[in-house]
């Protein structure tokens, strides 16, 4: 948050906007910066809670199915 400011940080990874505009989207981990954990990636997309417990813009939350697509079929595409 300190680097981007609260308003910009809250809208980071705006996947819901991508879905609304019909874009194919993916989710990933920045390994080796973070230990790979696909379930955590899915959880972050659905719940919009950072690893430090900060809640990001809830209007960008996506469904579990949309998050699963991001790490499976859309990533393969």
Among the residue ranges 2-6, 7-11, 20-24, 71-75, the one predicted with the least confidence is: 2-6
Tell me if 26 sits within 8 A of 73, measured CB to CB. Answer: no
Look at residue 1 and tell me if it is in a domain: no
Cβ-based burial of 46 (10 A; exposed 0-12, middle 13-18, buried ≥19) = middle
> Count of domains in the chain?
1
In a domain, 29, yes or no: yes
**DSSP state at residue 60:** G
Q: Mean of the pLDDT values across residues 18-39?
A: 88
Q: pTM here?
A: 0.80
The predicted pLDDT at position 1 comes to 56
Q: What range does the domain containing 42 cover?
A: 6-71
Percent of the chain scoring above 90 in pLDDT: 55
Q: Is the pLDDT of residue 23 over 60?
A: yes
23 lies in a domain? yes
Residue 32 pLDDT > 60: yes
């Amino acid at each position: 948050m300190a680097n981007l400011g609260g308003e910009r940080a809250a809208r980071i990874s705006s996947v819901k906007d991508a879905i609304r505009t019909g874009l194919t989207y993916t989710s990933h981990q920045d390994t080796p910066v973070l230990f790979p954990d696909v379930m955590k990636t899915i959880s972050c997309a659905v719940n919009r809670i950072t690893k430090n417990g900060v809640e990001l813009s809830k209007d960008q939350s996506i469904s579990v199915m949309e998050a699963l697509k991001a790490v499976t079929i859309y990533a393969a595409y």
